[in-house]
Amino acid sequence: MQDGNAFAVSAGGKISGSREKGLNRVLEILEFLHTTQRAIGIGDLAKGVNAPRSTTYTLVRSLVDAGLLELEGDGNRVYFGKKLYLYGMDYVRGNDLLRRGRQEVDNLSRETGETSELCMLQSGRYTIVHASPGTRPFRISSATGLQIPLPWTASGRLLLAGLERAEIEAMVSDDDLVLPDGRKLKLDDFIADIAKARVTGYCVTSGLVDAYTKCLAVPVFSAPGKVEATMCLVVPIDTSEERTASLIGLLRDRAARLSIAG
């Protein structure tokens, strides 16, 4: 008895995890739906989160009854429910920074015609919290809720400003340092970037996420020195020096507004 851990290897050879807490299963389910971004059958859901079918059925039933999930169409697929939307709006209401930040981002993209985003750290990950597409013919990729490795972005460098080296290391995995095109950043360079971004008060990265855009980002402070969020513009990589500088000026101006009461 009590070997402290009930993992076991079944005859088939695959690891059969021990009993999981229902709440954890639910959290996995939600996260899974967040990544799929669409309704999914309950059977597939069980497979997706690697949970027993019977358990998944009971949990989904609870969640549907509670309104956190909704049965889609034929009644076989599930996705997020109205309740989550309502809770999300509650969050927005209780969060001045987010509310005003969204507004500001919408303004920015309308005024400049460029894609504009509000970004935050979300459990240690870089997250696009709100995005507003620009008016350019080719749509620059960006979607609300998208999570991207911190080192790939200008905002990431600002969000980590003020953290200890150890904290940064803890947040950045080796994989995160590998760019989409295969290049690998050096951790020291990244940390140096962060320090630099901190003193300059803005950050520009070129051709990191893709080869055709650069990203201009500025910090939004919730308290002196505490970076709560960033606002950024995603522009074509060949944008002129002058325009870039002017856009950064605009960004800093707007971010300052947010920071005041933030």
Q: Give the binding site for a copy of itself (CB under 8 A).
A: 21-24, 26-27, 30, 33-34, 37-39, 59, 62, 65-68, 79-94, 98, 120, 122-123, 127, 129, 144-145
The position carrying tokens 């970004």 is 119
Residue 53 binds which one of DNA, a copy of itself, none, with CB within 5 to 8 A depending on kind?
DNA
Question: Of 48 and 81, which has the nearer Cβ to a copy of itself?
Answer: 81
| Residues contacting DNA: total by CB under 7 A | 25
Q: How far is the CB of 216 from a copy of itself (least distance, A)?
A: 23
Q: What is the DSSP string of the chain?
A: ---S---EE-TTSSEE-----HHHHHHHHHHHHHHH-S-EEHHHHHHHHT--HHHHHHHHHHHHHHTSEEEETTTTEEEE-HHHHHHHHHHHHT-HHHHHHHHHHHHHHHHH-SEEEEEEEETTEEEEEEEE--S-SSPPP--TT-EE-GGGSHHHHHHTTT--HHHHHHH--TGGGB-TTS-B--HHHHHHHHHHHHHHS-EEEESSSSTTEEEEEEEEEEETTEEEEEEEEEEETT--HHHHHHHHHHHHHHHHHHHHH-
Give the β-pairing of 77-80 and 115-122: unpaired
Residue 92 binds which one of a copy of itself, DNA, none, with CB within 5 to 8 A depending on kind?
a copy of itself
Residue 15 binds which one of DNA, a copy of itself, none, with CB within 5 to 8 A depending on kind?
none
Phi-psi region of 80 (alpha: psi -120 to 50; beta: other; left: phi over 0): beta
Determine if 72 is a binding residue for DNA (CB under 7 A): no
Question: Of 125 and 252, which has the nearer Cβ to a copy of itself?
Answer: 125
Out of 14, 21, 38, 139, which residue is the one contacting DNA (CB under 7 A)? 21
Determine if 122 is a binding residue for DNA (CB under 7 A): no
Out of 28, 30, 48, 55, which residue is the one contacting DNA (CB under 7 A)? 55
Interface stretch with DNA, choices 41-49, 123-131, 154-162, 182-190 (CB under 7 A):
41-49
Out of 31, 37, 52, 249, which residue is the one contacting DNA (CB under 7 A)? 52
Determine if 70 is a binding residue for DNA (CB under 7 A): no
Interface stretch with DNA, choices 47-55, 83-91, 140-148, 185-193 (CB under 7 A):
47-55
Query: How is residue 103 written in tokens?
Result: 């507004």
Question: Of 33 and 150, which has the nearer Cβ to DNA?
Answer: 33
Residue 145 binds which one of DNA, a copy of itself, none, with CB within 5 to 8 A depending on kind?
a copy of itself
Out of 28, 30, 32, 41, which residue is the one contacting DNA (CB under 7 A)? 41
Determine if 183 is a binding residue for DNA (CB under 7 A): no
Cα distance between residue 100 and residue 129, in whole Å: 12
